Amino acid sequence: MPDSSFGRYSGGLHGRRAGRPAPRPWERSFRCPDTARRRRPEAPARRYEDFIRLHEEISRASGPPLRPLWWTGAAAALGGGLLAFAAVVGLRTMVGVEVPVFAGGHTAAMPAATSYALCAMAGTIQATALMHLLLASSARPVRAFAWIGAIAVALLTILPLTLKGPFDAALATAGINLVGGTAVVVLLSAVVAGSRPFPPDAPPRRRVRG
């Protein structure tokens, strides 16, 4: 490479040492070579470090607890159906209360108990499917499920009292619906809340070290 009065010339601007890249246009326009050479090293890009840290947290996080949810829902449906069947048979044969009130007094104990047990099982499966849907679409699935479940249980408790029939049968049906529905909502919410820790409502503040 040829020499010049300013030093070794590498094909770039005069005054640059060999091996240095050519200055950028904005450096040539606003900064002198000495200032450009004395620039401080750039600080590490913290946003990229935060992005990598967030990616690691997401990759370590577990998916929605669908398997425990559906196992619990199936067990609750089976158990709730058996308890509803036993309650109807016991109340109709031993006490003489015509539970459920929508079956009427002309229906035998076994068909009434079977229909009520099937309704209880279907309601539990539907509640499990609703929780599954909320896990995939809601930011706070447990809270949303609790609100929806509370409204549904309230409607199931009030509805038997509005039907025509013996008051004791309507009151017993409302009580069974209240206890069974509350148990299903609490059980499914507890399983999901205990299987996956969800983020808090507000991000925690970073402590400033003095």
In this prediction, residue 22 carries a pLDDT of 61
Is the pLDDT reported for residue 142 higher than 90?
A: yes
pTM: 0.63
Question: CA-CA distance, 127 to 119, in Å (whole number)?
Answer: 12
Of 39-53, 131-145, 162-176, 180-194, least confident by mean pLDDT is 39-53
Phi/psi for 202 (5° steps) reads -125, 140
The pLDDT value recorded for residue 95 is 87
pLDDT in tens, 35-90: 555 555 544 566 666 666 666 655 555 567 788 999 999 999 999 999 999 999 99
- Residues above pLDDT 70, as percent of the chain: 63
Mean pLDDT of the chain: 78
Distance CA 97, CA 91 (A): 5
pLDDT of residue 104: 77
In the chain the first and final C-alpha atoms are separated, in Å, by: 55
| pLDDT value of residue 55 | 63
Question: Where exactly are the structural domains of the chain?
Answer: 3-35, 65-195
For residue 7, list its beta bridge partners.
4
- pLDDT higher than threshold 60 for residue 26: no
Cβ-contact 79, 55 below 8 angstroms: no
For residues 174-203, average pLDDT: 82
Q: What is the DSSP letter of 4?
A: E
